[in-house]
Amino acid sequence: MEKSKIVSFWKEIEQAKRIAIGGHIRPDGDCVGSCMGLYHYIREQFPEKQVQVYLGEFPDSFRLLEGVEQFIKPVKQQMEEAEEGQAWDLFVALDSSNLERLEFAPVFQKAVRTVCIDHHITNEGYAMMNLVFTSSSTAEAIYDVIQGRNEKGEERPVSKAAAEALYMGIVHDTGVFKHSCTTRHTMEVAGALMERGVDTSRMIDDTFYRKSYVQNQILGQALLNSVLWEQGSVISTAVFATDFEKYHAGKTDLDGIVDQLRITRGVEVAVFAYETEEDSFKFSMRSNSKVDVSTIAMQFGGGGHVRAAGCTISGTYEKGLQQLLEEIRKQL
């Protein structure tokens, strides 16, 4: 990332009195972590500014981040309040590769100035200023944006609250430092965050590995229903509306299912889907070493990374799955 872009970003922050930060729909750990990390840093450095974070419904485990509770509100209510209220001077969109995925797109569009900070190769450059990093996570990118504020190159320490949020973001998007997006720099950033006093074991266990009974049940059901294709190199499964009802589960209870599929011996591509509305499925794809799932997702209006991508396909699950399998086969 060019230094001048980071400098321009901080100029935007300095000029704005009222700043909104928001992420993508179905917020994951990196989305919530990067939003809260940037929030804390701006609050601490510019106490005179009004800063608000817009987040959709996210897993309960992320509530351990300091200050996040104040932003938990039904999306509809947040949208109405933003519609009635004054436009934000600046909206910083994080971890969202296009406007369709940005949860509070109307609020973003109403803002006077807009910036996007992201790490998706499929980023469409939809903001007035776009900082697209090649980092493991948006949280890692935010750490670098903060460090880039210092022209002398000395470390700019972040508070424990900001460090915890950024650490959580990195942990989630790297699958606890194991995905191929994890670099030496990722580990160095994580190391710097550890020094701020982050309880790393607690962050990893409580936000990543710990599952509720309901989450375990729905994971078990999804694994029981999984099917192998292409001599075992592809695995697929789905969660339907009836499963959500049966287990009293919601879409925030599905984290980790696709990753469990991916580590099945012999599997190159894992496909996981859940019903979003009648005859519409959100597909998640993961690959291990060969298949570029981001290009496949893009063909269906989605996006993501080479090894992790997603899209929504309308029609039955079987039909959507067959369409994806056809594209996967071409790359196997």
- Per partner kind, with CB cut-offs from 5 to 8 A, the member of ligand 5GP, Mn ion, none near residue 304 is ligand 5GP
Q: Which is nearer to ligand 5GP, 40 or 120 (CB)?
A: 120
45/280 with CB nearer ligand 5GP: 280
Going 94 to 139 to 141 to 176, the CA torsion angle's sign is: negative
Query: What is the closest distance, in whole angstroms, from the C-beta atom of residue 96 to Mn ion in the complex?
Result: 9
Q: Choose the one of Mn ion, ligand 5GP, none that binds residue 312, judging by a C-beta under 5 to 8 angstroms depending on kind.
A: ligand 5GP
Size of the site for Mn ion (CB under 5 A): 4
Alpha helices in 24-183 (DSSP H): 29-45, 75-84, 105-110, 138-147, 160-173
CA distance 128 to 308: 27
Q: How far is the C-alpha of 193 from the C-alpha of 164, rounded, in Å? A: 7
Q: How far is the first Cα of the chain from the last one, in angstroms, to the nearest whole number?
A: 33
| Sign, CA torsion 313/318/319/321 | positive
Answer yes or no whether residue 30 interacts with Mn ion by CB under 5 A: yes
Contacts to Mn ion from residues 102-141, by CB under 5 A: 138
Q: How far is the CB of 87 from Mn ion (least distance, A)?
A: 27
* Least distance between Mn ion and beta carbon 95 (Å): 4
Q: Which stretch binds Mn ion (CB under 5 A): 171-179, 230-238, 262-270, 305-313?
A: 171-179
Could you give the CA distance from residue 259 to residue 319 in angstroms, rounded to a whole number?
Answer: 23
> Minimum Å distance from CB 281 to ligand 5GP?
11
89 contact, one of Mn ion, ligand 5GP, none, CB 5-8 Å limit per kind: none
Rounded alpha-carbon distances, angstroms, from residue 61 to 140, 203, 255, 309: 21, 10, 11, 23
Residue 116 vs 192, nearer CB to ligand 5GP = 116
* Partner interacting with residue 32 (select from ligand 5GP, Mn ion, none; CB below 5-8 Å by kind): none
Spell out the residues 6+ positions from residue 148 whose beta carbon is closer than 8 angstroms to its own.
1, 3, 6, 7, 10
Which residues in this chain contact Mn ion in the complex, by CB under 5 A?
A: 30, 95, 138, 173
